[in-house]
Chains A and B, each alone.
Chain A
């Protein structure tokens, strides 16, 4: 157990090293990157990715995968914008949107747990149903309504010069990692991801744990959608598109095993930062979409391999210490 955690921390530290290296490179190459204005922008973009990938992290830790993330993000943005502009108070609308996120996650989780549908199929299907709903309410191109002030102020406001969204993300990250590392739920989730049968025999209610992770993913996605619509100024059906494989990439670059049971949310935070810094660096060279996609792919492979090397070094280190 101890060894696994050490290797795990090493992976997370490795992921942060990659992010830091990219950050320093950007800072040295273009010192204006360090201005508070540009740092705020980068923090906001990383926060979108990080929040969208929070749910994905939990689901992946439990051995699943959530492909409904982009449509749930759009659901959050579109529903919040529409319900608010139809006269529902923003607070109530936000609560309703969160309920919708829980519902989407619950359907995913129940399908995977009780109907034994594979996570990829279930979340693909549920994502399609959500997409159909969004198209049905007639939002192919956009709501036409401006995103509510509440969403805009969360997405673009700042406290003492630090973007509100970045603070929100930090709080979320601390909370999520405490839940993962200290709570019984966290231990059960790792157990489920590592060996479902074993966890079940050890008395973990695996279905309950798994459904909770999908619900958390639904909530994280709708919240990401609400703030994203606030940032963009409007909501539209395809707004979540980049976060389908982006969220999985952030989780993988952060060193989590896509097969479950290994990883941490801090790793995903580092993964989201890495991917965001990468696009900042590439935009400095003015290379365009093509180079960005190529670099993304290389960083996914490099990040996963680097995390593995870091974990391996930690393992051999602890072996040496024991021998000494």
Chain B
């Protein structure tokens, strides 16, 4: 994980600091340790889960959040935040169910304009943030509201028809392995390529220090607009996963993913101050959230226990990570 962070760091010295720095390693061992503990607890609580297909099913329920949190990570890496991920999801979910299904000559080729719209929502955020200089929270709060409204206008209630190939893609299996594993792998490969590419490096540089990035010849505005565009697109893929898993279009389902996406990013260890972290960590965060909830179900505890555990975990992880700094600050 740390090598990904190091790769993108603009300078050798900074990379060395990141690799040596106790903060980076301790933070990652914390998340990995939590994940291992949760896997073991889940295994003991419900031995039925220790099965490739049961675990694949669990992973399938986590896929929408994987992509939304992927998108959120990109915004957070640039010191921003994207509340409109819920609207991108809702738009893609609704359009998938109305444009690609059996209605009005719908065709699977409509997937391209649908993802184009998700990209457009993100680019609009980027323009509002860079050109009109609105704070990211306000800009994306506004576009969230607008495109949620559009989604509700297109499809008032859950419904529509999702093409079977999409449902099969999300819920089916290939070579005897549930597809959810492959989809997760694709998400990781996309991130790996992105983080090594020019845009990925620019994202880390801009998030780490915008002024220095600009002095180093990085076009900060273009980077930010591209980042938010990508945010919208990837959140839209999350909507596609949701539509595939539920087989219906859901105009309001996206809202439930906004705050969990931030939670997953933070638990994973991406800094809200920008420039440090990555999607690999965020996916660990998503898995932790998913396993907490499955543990609560396996032990047939009430829903509030899951809410409590998640919230306490969120604050506790952040505090534990900050302990070295707090001690240094005192001394």
Give A contacts to B, CB under 8 Å: 65, 67, 111, 115-118, 120-122, 124-129, 131-136, 140, 245, 248-249, 252, 257-259, 288-298, 300-301, 304-305
* Shortest distance from the beta carbon of A56 to any chain B beta carbon, whole Å: 12
Q: Does B262 contact A (CB under 8 A)?
A: yes
Instruction: Check if B141 sits within 8 Å of A115, measured CB to CB.
Output: no
Distance, CA A111 to CA B326, complexed state (A): 12
27 contacts between A and B (CB under 8 A): A65-B137, A111-B319, A115-B319, A116-B322, A116-B326, A118-B318, A121-B318, A122-B315, A124-B311, A125-B314, A126-B315, A128-B308, A128-B311, A128-B314, A132-B304, A136-B304, A245-B144, A248-B138, A252-B141, A290-B150, A290-B152, A290-B153, A294-B145, A297-B142, A297-B145, A301-B132, A301-B134
Q: Does B215 contact A (CB under 8 A)?
A: no
Chain B residue numbers with a CB within 8 Å of A245 are 83, 141, 144-145
Cβ-neighbour of A125 out of B148, B272, B311 (below 8 A): B311
Instruction: Check if B138 sits within 8 Å of A252, measured CB to CB.
Output: yes
With contacts A300-B138, A301-B128 known, is A132 near B314, CB below 8 A?
no
With contacts A125-B312, A258-B138 known, is A300 near B145, CB below 8 A?
yes
Instruction: Kindly report which residue of chain A lies nearest to residue B308, judged by CB atoms.
Output: A132
Chain B residue numbers with a CB within 8 Å of A249 are 141
Instruction: Check if B326 sits within 8 Å of A301, measured CB to CB.
Output: no
Distance, CA A124 to CA B267, complexed state (A): 12
Instruction: Check if B137 sits within 8 Å of A248, measured CB to CB.
Output: yes
List the 9 closest pairs (A to B, CB-CB), nearest first: A128-B311, A293-B149, A297-B146, A290-B153, A297-B145, A132-B308, A135-B304, A294-B149, A125-B315
Chain A residue numbers with a CB within 8 Å of B190 are none
Chain A residue numbers with a CB within 8 Å of B311 are 124-129, 131-132
Instruction: Check if A115 sits within 8 Å of B322, measured CB to CB.
Output: yes
Instruction: Check if A293 sits within 8 Å of B145, measured CB to CB.
Output: yes
Give B contacts to A, CB under 8 Å: 81, 83, 128, 132, 134-135, 137-139, 141-150, 152-153, 156, 259, 262-263, 266, 272-273, 302-305, 307-308, 310-312, 314-315, 318-319, 322, 325-326, 329
Instruction: Check if B314 sits within 8 Å of A121, measured CB to CB.
Output: yes
Chain B residue numbers with a CB within 8 Å of A126 are 311, 315
Instruction: Kindly report which residue of chain A lies nearest to residue B133, judged by CB atoms.
Output: A308
* Shortest distance from the beta carbon of A124 to any chain B beta carbon, whole Å: 6
* Shortest distance from the beta carbon of B325 to any chain A beta carbon, whole Å: 7
Distance, CA A301 to CA B156, complexed state (A): 25
Instruction: Check if B153 sits within 8 Å of A291, measured CB to CB.
Output: yes
Instruction: Check if B307 sits within 8 Å of A135, measured CB to CB.
Output: yes
Chain B residue numbers with a CB within 8 Å of A65 are 137
Chain A residue numbers with a CB within 8 Å of B314 are 121, 124-125, 128
Instruction: Check if B135 sits within 8 Å of A258, measured CB to CB.
Output: yes
Q: Which of A115, A133, A140, A257 gathers the greatest number of chain B CB atoms within 10 Å?
A: A115
Instruction: Check if A304 sits within 8 Å of B308, measured CB to CB.
Output: no
Instruction: Check if B305 sits within 8 Å of A132, measured CB to CB.
Output: yes
Cβ-neighbour of B302 out of A122, A136, A300 (below 8 A): A136
Instruction: Check if B144 sits within 8 Å of A135, measured CB to CB.
Output: no
Instruction: Check if A118 sits within 8 Å of B145, measured CB to CB.
Output: no
* Shortest distance from the beta carbon of B127 to any chain A beta carbon, whole Å: 11
Instruction: Kindly report which residue of chain B lies nearest to residue A248, judged by CB atoms.
Output: B141
Chain A residue numbers with a CB within 8 Å of B147 are 297
Instruction: Kindly report which residue of chain A lies nearest to residue B152, judged by CB atoms.
Output: A290
Q: Which of A116, A126, A290, A295 gathers the greatest number of chain B CB atoms within 10 Å?
A: A290
* Shortest distance from the beta carbon of A149 to any chain B beta carbon, whole Å: 30
With contacts A132-B308, A290-B150 known, is A297 near B144, CB below 8 A?
yes
Distance, CA A120 to CA B152, complexed state (A): 28
Instruction: Check if A117 sits within 8 Å of B318, measured CB to CB.
Output: yes
Chain B residue numbers with a CB within 8 Å of A291 are 149, 153
Cβ-neighbour of A121 out of B128, B137, B141, B272 (below 8 A): B272
* Shortest distance from the beta carbon of A197 to any chain B beta carbon, whole Å: 14
Instruction: Kindly report which residue of chain B lies nearest to residue A117, judged by CB atoms.
Output: B318
* Shortest distance from the beta carbon of A286 to any chain B beta carbon, whole Å: 14
Chain B residue numbers with a CB within 8 Å of A129 are 308, 311-312
Instruction: Kindly report which residue of chain A lies nearest to residue B81, judged by CB atoms.
Output: A120
Chain B residue numbers with a CB within 8 Å of A301 are 128, 132, 134, 138-139, 142
Instruction: Check if A116 sits within 8 Å of B325, measured CB to CB.
Output: yes
Distance, CA A245 to CA B139, complexed state (A): 12
Instruction: Kindly report which residue of chain B lies nearest to residue A114, judged by CB atoms.
Output: B326
Chain B residue numbers with a CB within 8 Å of A290 are 149-150, 152-153, 156
Chain B residue numbers with a CB within 8 Å of A304 are 134, 138
Distance, CA A67 to CA B81, complexed state (A): 14
Chain A residue numbers with a CB within 8 Å of B312 are 125, 129
Chain A residue numbers with a CB within 8 Å of B142 are 296-298, 300-301
Distance, CA A294 to CA B307, complexed state (A): 31
